[in-house]
Amino acid sequence: MKSLPWFLRDLIYLAIFVAVLLAAAYGLDALRFPGIAYYNRIIVLIGINITLAVSLNIINGHAGQFSLGHAGFMAVGAYFSAFLTFFYFTNIVEKYPAAQHPLFVVALLAGGALAALAGYIVGLPSLRLRGDYLAIVTLGFGEIIRVLILNIEKIGGARGFSGIPQWSNFFWVYFFAGVTVAVSWRLVRSSVGRAFLAVREDQIAAEAMGVDTTKYKVKAFVIGSFWAGVAGGLFAHYQMYLNPTAFTFLRSFELVVMVVLGGLGSISGSIIAAIVLTILPEVLRMAKEVLHTDKDPRMVIYSIMLIVLMLTRPQGLFGRRELWQVLARRKDTIPTDKRDEGDADDKLDRDAAPPVQ
């Protein structure tokens, strides 16, 4: 494959990916049993959460900039794409039904672009700050976005934005999740990604190596918020209804938890954590019946599980590695190599309890 020109090779990959997705989409469609709609819904939400977690991982995990405003970027993308489809594109699609999918992609990308612009505007001044300070500024930003939306009557304000066409489906959600993962994967294995990692590891050394740290921090923010915006658009066109309360800082926290739980900087970790943390609250609905209580203990159990996980594996499921790297290291349990001595991180990996599920 390496001898082929790059665009041909990527087109082949893309074609295979699309074919697999289409097959899976039709397969899911063909399934008929009671409650299938519920499972379909969870599967789609998982895809959206994967996109969000992987994009946040670029900012928090790779570039090491602790952002708590991801729900804000998501909201920008969600509302802008919904605004475009509701006020402009639905009319066109009524006349030309074939235009639906291309226009949907345009709306998603436009939402992503506006979210990226928001990321740029927030990034420029606030990336002078570090750690906790940056986290607080991005948290504030997310809230500002939400309050702004709350006050724009045109897009529903506090009543919420209803009547958005349901153009999202399994195919588009997983198509964009796949693209986000591929982009993030290739980025981190390039000079751009190495610059991100250098900024995360040691800013002073990164500058001394010729890395323009501000430029790369802003880059990470822009890329991360772009995909958050796209995910927002997918969410909007799946729910068909948007309300500012869906984008509070709690949503941002949920995404940060996914990234931290998966292991900051681990792409496969973010994906698995997104899957687990989307399914977990649903699975825990059973707890009410099992415990024979009137009150729903779901979120209490969910929180306790998170606390236990963070206590037993503070570095996340996979640390900074990917799933297969962790598995490969687990196989040789006897430290045959001298370099493993004194490596606290690796010891933790071997001794800690296996990850959940």
Partner 1 sequence: MTTMPLLEARRVTIRFGGLTAVADFNLSIEPHELVGLIGPNGAGKTTIFNMLTGVYAPTEGEISFDGKSTAGCKPFEITARGVARTFQNIRLFKDLTVLDNVKIGGHIHYTYSGTSAVLHTNRFHRAEDEAEERALELLRIFELEPRANDYAKNLPYGDQRRLEIARALAAQPKLLLLDEPAAGLNDRETRDLMATIHDVRDRFGVAILLIEHHMELVMGICERILVLNFGKTIAQGTPEEVRSNPVVIEAYLGEPVEAV
- Residues in touch with partner 1 (CB under 8 A): 5-7, 9-10, 182-183, 186-187, 190-195, 197-198, 201-202, 204-213, 219, 223, 320, 339-340, 342-343
User: Please, what's the largest Cα pairwise distance for the chain?
Assistant: 70
Closest to partner 1 by CB, 70 vs 200, is 200
Is the separation of the CB atoms in 188 and 197 below 8 Å?
yes
Whichever of 159 and 215 has its CB closer to partner 1, that residue is 215
Q: How far apart are CA 117 and CA 106, in angstroms?
A: 16
Nearer to partner 1, 94 or 202 (CB): 202
Integer Cα distance of 236 and 76 in angstroms: 11
d(CA 136, CA 119): 15
* Residues recorded for the chain: 357
Instruction: Please check whether residue 276 is in contact with residue 357, taking contact to mean a CB–CB distance below 8 angstroms.
Output: yes
* Identity of the residue, 3 or 357, whose beta carbon is nearer to partner 1 in the bound complex: 3
**Under 8 Å between Cβ of 138 and 225:** no
Q: Cβ closer to partner 1: 146 or 219? A: 219
> In terms of CB distance, is 179 or 240 closer to partner 1?
179
Shortest spacing between CB 62 and partner 1, in angstroms: 11
Please report how close the Cβ of residue 45 comes to partner 1 at its closest, in angstroms. Answer: 26
Q: Least distance (Å) from partner 1 to the CB of residue 226?
A: 11
Shortest CB 209 distance to partner 1, Å:
5
Quote the CA–CA distance of 24 and 68 in Å, as a whole number.
34
Say if strands 241-242 and 161-162 run parallel, antiparallel, or are unpaired. Answer: antiparallel
Residue with Cβ nearer partner 1 (227 or 235): 227
Closest distance of CB 295 from partner 1, Å: 44
CB 5, min distance to partner 1, A: 8
Terminal CA-CA length for the chain: 37
Of 151 and 190, nearer to partner 1 (C-beta) is 190
User: In terms of C-beta density within 10 A (0-12 exposed, 13-18 middle, 19 or more buried), how is residue 7 classed?
Assistant: exposed
The one-letter amino acid at 177? A
Place of tokens 């588009």: 172
For residue 269, the number of C-alpha atoms closer than 13 Å in the C-beta half-sphere is 30
241 SS3 class: strand
- Nearest approach in angstroms of CB 124 to partner 1 is 16
Nearest to 283 by CA among 12, 25, 39, 11: 39
**348-354 LR contacts (CB < 8 Å, sep 24+):** 348/313, 348/315, 349/319, 352/312, 352/313, 353/312, 353/313
Residue (190 or 293) nearer to partner 1, CB: 190
CB of 296 to partner 1, least distance (A): 41
Nearer to partner 1, 123 or 244 (CB): 123
CB of 271 to partner 1, least distance (A): 18
Identify the sign of the CA torsion 41, 82, 277, 317.
Answer: positive
Smallest gap from Cβ 171 to partner 1, in A, equals 21
Separation CA 141–CA 63 (nearest Å): 19
